[in-house]
Structure formats: C-alpha cells, structure tokens
C-alpha cells in the first residue's frame, strides 16, 4: 500500500497535539484555571462529564511520548503551549514552572532529533482573561502579543517553527456562536468580533515573535471545500455564504488583507489599520483539513456532522446537509480524500502569489478501535491516511507548494465536547491505566516516512 506514497525531497513529516487535550496536571506547576476547566465543570457540556484534568498525563509522561515520536520517525512535533500554564492570570512575565516544563519538552525533542513546532493558542484561554471579556474584548490582542514575547524570549533560541493560533473559525463558531465549546457563549452572529480579535492577535503575535527572534511563523487554519447540495440557484447561493463564513472570513484577511464582501462593517475597528497587522506576511500558511461540507438553502433538512452534532438555530440562510455516498469516520465525518486535493488547489487558485508555502498542520480521523490481544488493528485509519496522502500528493503534482504533513494526532486524547469517546491517535491510550499502545496505523506511517527517506 505504501509503494507509491512518495513525496518531494525535504518534505517534513510530523504529528500534532494540543495542551489541554493531552497534558492533564491542570492544578500542577502553578497553572491557572482555563476556560476549558470551567466549561468541563458545567453539567451537560462535555460527554459523560469528562474533563482534561488527567487526559493523557503527558505533563508527566512527555519523555515516553517523545520516545514514541522518535520511533515513528517524524521530523516535527506540533504541540501547543498552555497559556494558563505560562501566564496563569493571562499577564505577566511568565510562570517559572510552566516555562520549565516546556524547556524540558523542547530539549527532549531536540535530543531525539525532532523539531518542536509549538502553537501559542489552541483554545485554552486563561479564565481571568475570559472574565475580562475574552475574545470579545480587543484588550486580549495586547495580552496575546505580550504572551508571544514571553515565549519568544524563552524559546526562540531552540524553536525553528512557530504557529500562532489554531483554527480561529472553530473558537468563533463553536465557542462563542453556538456555545458547544468553551466559553459556551451562544451569540450567533454577534460572535464575529471573536474572529476579528483572533486574527488581530495572530498578526500582533507574528510581529512580537519576530521582534523576539522567532522565525518560520505561520497559522493553523481549518478549511473545507463547501459543496452546494444541488445546482439550484438557492443552494449555490447558500453554499457561497457558508463558504465565506467558514473559509474565507479567516484566510482572506491573513493572505489578502481584506474581509470577504459584507463582513468588514460587522467587525470592531479600526478595521483598515487592523487588516494591515493581520496580513503581516507569513513564512507559511497551515491548513487543517478533515472533510468537505455540503450546504443548501434552509429547508429543515440540516445535518449536524459539520458542527459535531450541534444543531444550528433556525432562521439562518443556509444549512449543512448530509453528504450521501461516502463512508464516515466513527465521529460521523465523511471520508472524502479528493476534497483534500481540492481545497489545496482552491488555495493556489484563490491566492496565487500571495500564498506562501503550505503545511498541513492537521489531518486525521476518529476510528475507535481498541486493543484485541494487545493489538490495535485500525485498518480503516490506514485506508483513510492512504487516500488522503494520495490526494495531497496529487495537489503537489498540480503545483501546490506543500512542504509538510502533520497528522492529527500522535495519541488518543480529550476530544473537547466529545470527551474521550473519539480516538484520533496513532497510539492507543487506555484512559484508566494511561498505557500507550502503538496501533497498526502508527507502524504503517512509520514505513511511509522511512520509505520517503530512502
């Protein structure tokens, strides 16, 4: 199966994780409370009342996890700093024990020959900042720039690749618009300032990281082809609206310095000046991709797979529809390898020479196989990765400049509102014993990487 999965020389292979999803140890090392601690404590918000309090206990087991990465053969490990571990109140010079933890992690990675690629923010906001208005408040963009400066001062000597923010669309939609993620606000379109403030924080962080010696900086933004449910004018129009909202509202400001038509007026200003900061040139652009989405005009036939089972409220001018005819992951997400190449080609066509090199900062699937006689034979994940990597390769052959692929995720972890029910890992984690068991897909990806090094 791996024979023709070859990628250009120098192509980088990695895995991705995030702090709240794997670290645990939420009350150790001076870490402050985060919005996700608060959200998880609210009854009914997370499946089975589960939390990230222990998660994979990576805070204590990071050395074992780095050993698993070394065995896998990756070049790059994308993880996230926990903002409340670095700045428990969201401000200040940095918590010594928190900084020390990431020192240990980064030094262990470098010792194993793996490049650290940290994300500054993957959704775990210090609770005191949320209490002061969170991402609805412009002040957080200053706080984020200060936080970036603290990180650059400590780690720029050893970190060769930086990621500012993970999936600003998801925090806006799931966190502040629908209330399905922390901080659980249901503001619908009044959540749009959250998008603007994250984008501005991203631009300010790029500048702060560079001022502190940081190099090779990008963002991890999630993107999906939006397919009209039919050729009817109503469905095509609805799909276009949705496409702007989930894709171009987040990528156009960064890559073109402007919002899709109609959005600028909804954003808190001074938007024109902010857009100059937001579009500070990047060294690369990160795309997280999982599935396409089908969208039609609102008729009451909405499918909730695109919003993790959360229904959109009535009255919207569009609705996600079920994509028929495709297998689905155990999370219900359609498996459509061709959509991966499609979104990459769309980026090339839409942005032309404004598009820097691309990294795939996430791709993967929830396949919930568990050990049988000590073996996790997750053939469906292998088939998924094989198909998606082939599609990626076809986009590269069509001239899309993709420099690396970081699989989500190294190990099974806390899947936000779905708790521990969805297993995205190459490594199985027993959440009772915390034992790690590499799955068949781990060995398969090992072979793909090894063949690409021959």
Residues annotated within the binding site are 21, 122, 166, 290, 408, 415-416
Cα separation values, 299 from 245, 302, 315, Å = 19, 8, 10
Tell me if residue 349 falls in helix, strand or coil: helix
Question: 111 CB contacts (<8 Å, ≥6 apart)?
Answer: none
Q: Does 51 bind ligand IFM (CB under 6 A)?
A: no
- Residue 151: Cβ within 10 Å count: 26
Out of 12, 15, 18, 79, the only residue in the binding site for ligand IFM (CB under 6 A) is 18
| Residue 167: active-site member | yes
Question: 391 CB contacts (<8 Å, ≥6 apart)?
Answer: 337, 338, 339, 340, 341
Least distance to ligand IFM from the beta carbon of 365, Å?
9
> In 291-372, at which residue ranges do the beta strands (DSSP E only) sit?
293-296, 319-321, 358-362
Which positions from 300 through 329 interact with ligand IFM, judged by CB under 6 A?
none
Out of 50, 146, 362, 369, the only residue in the binding site for ligand IFM (CB under 6 A) is 362
* Separation between Cα atoms, residue 175 and residue 172, nearest integer Å: 6
Least distance to ligand IFM from the beta carbon of 135, Å?
17
Least distance to ligand IFM from the beta carbon of 275, Å?
26
Catalytic residue, chosen from 23, 167, 319, 342, is 167
Place of tokens 């038509």: 261
Least distance to ligand IFM from the beta carbon of 18, Å?
5
Number of residues that bind ligand IFM (CB under 6 A): 8
Instruction: Give buried/exposed letters for 125-149 (b at 16+ CB in 10 A, else e).
Output: bbbbbbebebbbbbebbebbbbbbb
Q: Does 82 bind ligand IFM (CB under 6 A)?
A: no
Task: Tell me whether residue 21 or residue 391 sits nearer to ligand IFM (CB atom).
Answer: 21
Least distance to ligand IFM from the beta carbon of 445, Å?
17
Q: Does 285 bind ligand IFM (CB under 6 A)?
A: no
Task: Tell me whether residue 279 or residue 441 sits nearer to ligand IFM (CB atom).
Answer: 441
Catalytic residue, chosen from 23, 50, 130, 362, is 362
Task: Tell me whether residue 121 or residue 227 sits nearer to ligand IFM (CB atom).
Answer: 121
* Separation between Cα atoms, residue 84 and residue 171, nearest integer Å: 17
> In 242-292, at which residue ranges do the beta strands (DSSP E only) sit?
285-288
**Both tokens of residue 114?**
């793996």
Least distance to ligand IFM from the beta carbon of 69, Å?
18
Cα 394 from chain centre? 23
Annotated binding-site members for substrate: 21, 122, 166, 290, 408, 415-416
| Residue 71: active-site member | no
Q: Does 119 bind ligand IFM (CB under 6 A)?
A: no
Yes or no: say if 66 and 114 are a contact pair by the CB < 8 Å rule: yes
Q: Does 408 bind ligand IFM (CB under 6 A)?
A: yes
Q: Residue 118: which of 88, 152, 159 has the closest Cα?
A: 159
Out of 415, 417, 423, 427, the only residue in the binding site for ligand IFM (CB under 6 A) is 415
Out of 37, 57, 146, 167, the only residue in the binding site for ligand IFM (CB under 6 A) is 167
Contacts to ligand IFM by CB under 6 A: 18, 21, 167, 288, 362, 408, 415, 424
Active-site residue list: 167, 362
């Amino acid at each position: 199966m791996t024979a023709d999965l070859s990628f250009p020389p120098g192509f980088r292979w990695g895995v991705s994780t995030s702090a709240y999803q794997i670290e645990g140890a939420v009350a150790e090392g001076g870490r402050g409370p985060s919005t996700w601690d608060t959200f998880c404590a609210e009854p009914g918000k997370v499946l089975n009342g589960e939390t990230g309090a222990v998660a994979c206990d990576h805070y204590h087991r990071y050395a074992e996890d780095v050993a698993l990465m070394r065995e896998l053969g990756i070049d790059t490990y994308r993880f996230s700093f926990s903002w409340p571990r670095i700045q428990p109140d969201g401000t200040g010079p940095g918590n010594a024990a928190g900084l020390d933890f990431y020192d240990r992690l980064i030094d262990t990675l470098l010792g194993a020959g793996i490049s650290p690629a940290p994300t500054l923010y993957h959704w775990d906001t210090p609770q005191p900042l949320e209490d002061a208005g969170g991402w609805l408040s412009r002040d957080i963009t200053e706080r984020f720039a200060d936080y970036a400066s603290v990180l650059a001062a400590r780690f720029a000597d050893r970190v060769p690749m930086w990621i500012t923010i993970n999936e600003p669309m998801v925090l806006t939609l799931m966190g502040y618009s629908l209330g399905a993620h922390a901080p659980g606000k249901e503001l619908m379109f009044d959540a749009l300032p959250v998008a603007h403030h994250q984008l501005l924080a991203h631009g300010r962080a790029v500048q702060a990281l560079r001022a502190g010696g940081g190099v090779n900086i990008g963002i991890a933004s999630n993107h999906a082809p939006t397919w009209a449910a039919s050729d009817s004018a109503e469905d095509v129009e609805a799909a276009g609206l949705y496409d702007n909202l989930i894709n171009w509202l987040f990528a156009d400001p960064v890559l073109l310095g402007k919002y899709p038509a109609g959005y600028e007026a909804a954003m808190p200003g001074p938007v024109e000046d902010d857009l100059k900061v937001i579009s500070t040139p990047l060294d690369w652009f990160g795309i997280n991709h999982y599935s396409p989405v089908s969208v039609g005009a609102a008729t009451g036939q909405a499918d909730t797979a695109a919003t993790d089972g959360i229904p959109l409220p009535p009255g919207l001018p569009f609705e996600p529809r079920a994509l028929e005819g495709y297998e689905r992951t155990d999370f219900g997400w359609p498996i459509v390898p061709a959509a991966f190449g499609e979104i990459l080609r769309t980026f090339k066509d839409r942005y032309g020479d404004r598009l820097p090199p691309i990294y795939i900062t996430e791709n993967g699937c929830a396949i919930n196989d568990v050990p049988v006689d000590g073996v996790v034979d997750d053939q469906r994940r292998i088939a998924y990765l094989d198909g998606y990597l082939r599609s990626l390769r076809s986009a590269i052959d069509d001239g899309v400049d993709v420099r690396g692929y970081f699989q989500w995720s190294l190990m099974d972890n806390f899947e936000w509102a779905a708790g521990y029910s969805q297993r995205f890992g190459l490594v199985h984690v027993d959440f009772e014993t915390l034992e790690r068991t590499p799955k068949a897909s781990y060995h398969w990806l090992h072979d793909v990487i090894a063949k690409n090094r021959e």
